[in-house]
Amino acid sequence: MELLILNAAQVRQLLPMAACMDVMAEALQALGRGEMQNPLRTFTWLPDKHGLLAAMPAIAPQVMGIKVISVMPGNMDTEYESHMGAVMIFDTTYGRPLALMDASEITTIRTAAVSGVATRLLAREDASDLAILGTGIQAISHLEAMLVARPIKRVRAWSRHQENREKFAAQAQTRFGISVELTETAQDAVLGADIICTTTSSNQPVLQGEWLLDGVHLNVVGASTRQAREVDTAAMVKSSLFADRRESVLNEAGDFLIPKQEGVIDDNHIRGELGEILLGQIPGRQSRTEITLFKSLGLAVEDLASAHYIYRQAVQEGIGTAVEFGSTRH
C-alpha cells in the first residue's frame, strides 16, 4: 500500500486560487446539504500555554481526513510559521491512507479562497477599493483571492510594523503587478474601502465600527478563539453577519461572542451560512448600503475538500512522492 506525500511547493502548484474558490463553494454547498460531517475542532494546550495542538477531522462521501496543526504564536519572531502541520486523507471504502500533505499551504490558500467566495456572494458587484489589515501570509493570499473575486483597482494595507508593510507591498508588486498604498494607521487604510479584510494576529480590535461606510463588505479572518477579536462591538452590531458554519461562530468566534456577552446582539444576529446562500436558501446582500460581514473560522471540510482536489490532481499529473505505508492482509 502506498501513501502519496506532497510538500508545500507541490500543494501550491496543484491548488491555484481560482480553482480553490470553486472547490470551496462546492464544499460549502455539500455541507449545507448535509453530505459532509464537520465536528468542532479540538485544542490541546501545552502545559505552559505557549502553544497548542489542534485536530480538525471531517468526512465526505468518498474521502475522510484530518488536519493536525501546531499553533505557536511566539513564532512570529522566528524563522518558523505560527501554524504548522499536515493533512492526511483516507478513502471511505476500506479506510486506506491515501495522502499526507503540507497543512500550512492548504490553510493559507483555502482560508483566502473561502473569503473570496464570501466576497463574490456579499460584496457589491462594483466593489474595487480594497483595504487589508495585517501584512502576513494571509494578507498576501487574501489579496490574491480578492483580485479573483472583484475588479480591484486600489489596495491599501496597514500593519503595526513598517518593515512588514514594505515587504507586503513588494510581494504584491512582484506576484500580482499591483501597487499597494501603505498607511500609518488602520483607520487611514479602511476609510472609503468597499472591501476590508482583517488578517492580523491581534487579540484586540483593530477595526472600529465608526470607520465603516455604508455598503462595505468585511472578511474577518484573523481571530479564531472565544477570547480574541479583530473588530469592535460597534462594527459587529452594524453589520449583517454571515458564517462559514453557524456552530463554529457560536462556539469559537470572539468577534461575535464578546458583543453577545455584552448583551447587544444574540444568536439571531447570524443571518446565515455561505452554503445557504449558495444553495439559494437565504439571500445575501440585500441593498447597496448594507454592511456585510463574513466571519471566517476555517472548517475541516474546507481542508478535506482542498486535499482531495490536490490528491486527484497529483495522481493525474504524476506529482508527489509515493512511499510504502502500512500493510495489507496476506
Overall average pLDDT of the 287-301 stretch:
96
For 211-227, what is each residue's pLDDT tens digit?
999 999 999 998 888 88
Are 312 and 229 part of one and the same domain? no
Q: Phi and psi at residue 211, in whole multiples of 5°? A: -85, -15
> How high is the mean pLDDT of the chain?
95
Are 146 and 282 part of one and the same domain? yes
Between CA 74 and CA 69 the distance in angstroms is 15
Overall average pLDDT of the 302-307 stretch:
98
Whether 52 is in a domain gets the answer yes
Are 171 and 284 part of one and the same domain? yes
Between CA 199 and CA 208 the distance in angstroms is 15
Give me the number of domains the chain comprises.
2
- Would you say residue 16 has pLDDT above 60? yes
- Would you say residue 79 has pLDDT above 90? no
- Would you say residue 322 has pLDDT above 80? yes
Q: How confident is the model at residue 72 (pLDDT cuts 50, 70, 90)?
A: confident
Whether 318 is in a domain gets the answer yes
Whether 114 is in a domain gets the answer no
Asked whether the CA dihedral 173, 178, 181, 186 is positive or negative, the reply is negative
Q: Phi and psi at residue 243, in whole multiples of 5°? A: -120, 160
Whether 119 is in a domain gets the answer no
Are 273 and 308 part of one and the same domain? no
Whether 285 is in a domain gets the answer yes
Structural contact between residues 141 and 238, judged by C-beta atoms closer than 8 angstroms:
no
- Would you say residue 308 has pLDDT above 80? yes
Are 272 and 318 part of one and the same domain? no
Are 171 and 231 part of one and the same domain? yes
Predicted TM-score (pTM) of the model is 0.94
Helix (H) or strand (E) holding 171: helix 162-176
Question: Which pLDDT value is given to residue 40?
Answer: 86
Question: Which pLDDT value is given to residue 328?
Answer: 67
Are 138 and 229 part of one and the same domain? yes
Overall average pLDDT of the 300-318 stretch:
97
For 91-145, what is each residue's pLDDT tens digit?
999 999 999 999 999 999 999 999 999 999 999 999 999 999 999 999 999 999 9
Amino acid at 147: L
Whether 237 is in a domain gets the answer yes
For 224-278, what is each residue's pLDDT tens digit?
888 889 999 999 999 999 999 999 999 999 999 999 999 999 999 999 999 999 9
Between CA 69 and CA 83 the distance in angstroms is 6
Amino acid at 194: D
Are 150 and 294 part of one and the same domain? yes
CATH number of the domain enclosing 248: 3.40.50.720
CATH number of the domain enclosing 19: 3.30.1780.10
Between CA 71 and CA 80 the distance in angstroms is 11
Whether 199 is in a domain gets the answer yes
For 23-67, what is each residue's pLDDT tens digit?
999 999 999 999 999 998 898 999 998 999 999 999 999 999 999
**DSSP letter assigned to residue 228:** -
Structural contact between residues 7 and 310, judged by C-beta atoms closer than 8 angstroms:
no
Q: How confident is the model at residue 80 (pLDDT cuts 50, 70, 90)?
A: confident
Q: How confident is the model at residue 329 (pLDDT cuts 50, 70, 90)?
A: low
Whether 111 is in a domain gets the answer no
Q: How confident is the model at residue 330 (pLDDT cuts 50, 70, 90)?
A: low
Give the domain range for residue 217: 125-298
Question: Which pLDDT value is given to residue 326?
Answer: 76
Q: CB-based contacts of 192: which residues, under 8 Å, 6+ apart?
A: 129, 213
Are 203 and 289 part of one and the same domain? yes
* Helix, strand, coil % over all residues of the chain, rounded to 5: 40, 25, 35
Between CA 141 and CA 133 the distance in angstroms is 13
